[in-house]
A = this chain, B = another copy of it.
Amino acid sequence: MAIHRGSVWSDSAALVISTLASVVLMPVGATAQALADVQTPDTPLVLKAQGSFFIGGETVEQTKVQLGDLGPGGHITINQMYVRYMVPQGGEANVPVVMLHGATLTGKSWETTPDGRMGWDEYFVRKGHPVYVPDQVGRGRSGFNQAVLNDVRAGLATPDRLPPWLRFSDEGVWPNFRFGAKPGEPFADTQFPMAAIGELSKQAVPDPSFGFPQPNPNWKALADLAGQLKGAVLMGHSQSGSFPLEAALLNPTAAKGLVLVEPGRCPEYTAEQIKTLASVPTLVVFGDHRDTPTGLPTLPTWQQRFEMCQATTGRVRAAAGRAEMLAPPARGVR
């Protein structure tokens, strides 16, 4: 991988990328995760700080019914984003990395793997980077706006007002996540620890964001988080793969680098937007078996997504920016 070093590509960002390349190549185990299977590292993890906080949030007034009909009506907060963090001792001055998860998932994505290995969160902390792991607005510890659910329950709104709540079936993830073309038939060269697929299933939560208004509130939350961190590398995955681009457009000076892990799309930006994105180093990572039909015919295939991002990164480079595609299989590594 050719990493261009220059005024816009800090050494810190380059370190994140080299750390990422190591993660992609980490060997996988073959045991199913349970508490007894969770692995313990050989050396302790020394943290300057750890904890959690929220970004954003709006105060809205809701009725007694909308609040579940137990207590009085009044105000609540919606659209806040929960963020958990770990700062390594001695690494507090290094560029922070924000890891945002994909569809039907939460920040758990970046923690202990389904087969009990260290998550990317701790891996990057051990490489010296402060790591910030949000739950997307509307999911996990960020909560969601329940008002319409309770209104429908009470007959005060029609059921078509409900958002769709998405989950992927265990069978559906085989072709979509490219473990194999058909459920139960893994590719001979799959890198996923198939014995732990049941543990992956437990990571899923209902995802209401397909019913979100645009712009997706996560874009601003991500940009605000980068700003409050006074600069960060922003990493998105799958559904959120393009969110770092959107956050960079909202706050380009706070985006020190963008890492798009198998983004679900690379939007067709205007020339002005591409010019802005050219100020931020960007890496787009895709894995193998991209031509597998996903079983989701209304969405692009992974190969189509790859080509969309090839086009976007090409435009960024043509605007004198730094944007690279990283496809480990094409380099002989899986």
Which A residues are closer than 8 A to B by beta carbons? Answer: 33-36, 38, 40-41, 44-55, 57, 59, 62, 67-77, 80, 82-84, 86-87, 89, 106-108, 111-112, 116, 118-119, 122, 135, 140-144, 146, 149-150, 152-155, 159-160, 162-172, 176, 183, 198-199, 201-207, 210, 225, 228-229, 295-296, 298-299
Residue of B nearest to A55 (CB): B35
Find chain B residues with CB under 8 A from A135 CB: 141
Residue of B nearest to A145 (CB): B206
Find chain B residues with CB under 8 A from A69 CB: 164
Find chain B residues with CB under 8 A from A47 CB: 44-47
Most buried by B among A33, A203, A210: A203
- Interface residue from B45, B74, B112, B295 paired with A72 (Cβ < 8 Å): B295
The distance in angstroms between the C-alpha atoms of A229 and B38, with both chains bound, is 12
The copy count of this chain in the complex is 2
The distance in angstroms between the C-alpha atoms of A82 and B109, with both chains bound, is 12
- Interface residue from B67, B118, B162, B168 paired with A149 (Cβ < 8 Å): B162
Q: 25 pairs across A/B with beta carbons < 8 Å?
A: A35-B83, A35-B229, A38-B51, A41-B49, A44-B48, A50-B86, A51-B118, A51-B122, A52-B108, A52-B111, A53-B112, A53-B199, A54-B199, A68-B167, A69-B164, A74-B183, A76-B167, A76-B170, A76-B201, A77-B170, A77-B201, A142-B205, A143-B204, A144-B205, A159-B159
